[in-house]
Amino acid sequence: MKNKYLTTGIILVLFCLFFSCNSFAQPASRRFSISIIGGTTSKGPASDLESALNLAGYNDVSSFWGSTTAHPFSKTGLGAIGSPWLVQCQYLLNGNLAVSMIVSNSDIGMTLGYKKSSYFSQINYSVLTISPLLSISLNNIFRIGAGPAYYITKANNESSSIFGGLLDIGLSVPNDSRFYFTFSFQYRFVGKMDLSEVKENYPSSKIIPIGEVNFNHTFTGIGIGIRF
């Protein structure tokens, strides 16, 4: 695990959740819920990729039909290369503790560089997230939780499996109906991915010396859910 404070932070959060849950216990007639959420992400590895492409010489200015574009630059978040989504299944335990499972796919974005001798380089990157969480749910409205996470990071032809952690904060309203609206904010401790073998995607398959980039990112989204 790359982040030296990650394990300690998760343990402290889970410890606090366990010993505070009885103070906020609320009855729940519907304990199981499923939420489907769409949203956006923060920049993730964009800054590291821009720095690496700049050092590799992919920092020329391109021109097209009279307009010029400075490189490298990034496009990230909703609509950059896709639509990040999340599915969360939650079950309320005794008191106010809840356990849940999260599956999410986040197309974070793309970073583009340009070198006159090699044309363009475009690196697309995404993260698949699978995470079990332990949370405290206050009155079935507000929740905060944390847990370990399994990430599959991708950048062009490269992919990597990484174990990290996840912090989840959310709201669900109304709290007593079968259907509800939900808001979710997550910080995902992914860590670093080695991109020493990533390939230029146009017009050749030339290797670009990128190195390690940090895939830590946030997810923010809204959606709907159903309780059973």
pLDDT (0 to 100) of residue 16: 45
pLDDT at 1 over 50: no
* Residue among 143, 177, 180 nearest 13 (CA): 143
Structure confidence at residue 120 (pLDDT): 80
Question: With 60 as the cut, is the pLDDT of residue 228 above it?
Answer: yes
What pLDDT does 82 receive? 94
Helical segments of the chain, H only: 6-20, 46-55
CB contact at 8 A, 195 and 212: yes
DSSP-derived 3-state class of residue 24: helix
Which CATH class name applies to 6-227?
mainly beta
Q: What is the pLDDT of residue 76?
A: 96
Return d(Cα 123, Cα 46) in angstroms, integer: 10
Identify the pLDDT of residue 201.
63
User: What average pLDDT does range 208-214 have in this prediction?
Assistant: 90
Q: Is the pLDDT of residue 6 over 90?
A: no
Average pLDDT over residues 42-58: 94
> Could you read off the pLDDT of 71-123 as tens digits, one per residue?
999 999 999 999 999 999 999 998 789 999 999 999 999 999 988 866 788 89
pLDDT at 68 > cutoff 90? no
Which pLDDT band holds residue 62 (cuts at 50, 70, 90)?
Answer: confident
Backbone angles phi, psi at 16, to 5 degrees: -65, -40
User: What is the rounded average pLDDT of the residues 143-166?
Assistant: 95
Domain spans, the chain: 6-227
The whole-number pLDDT of residue 56 equals 87
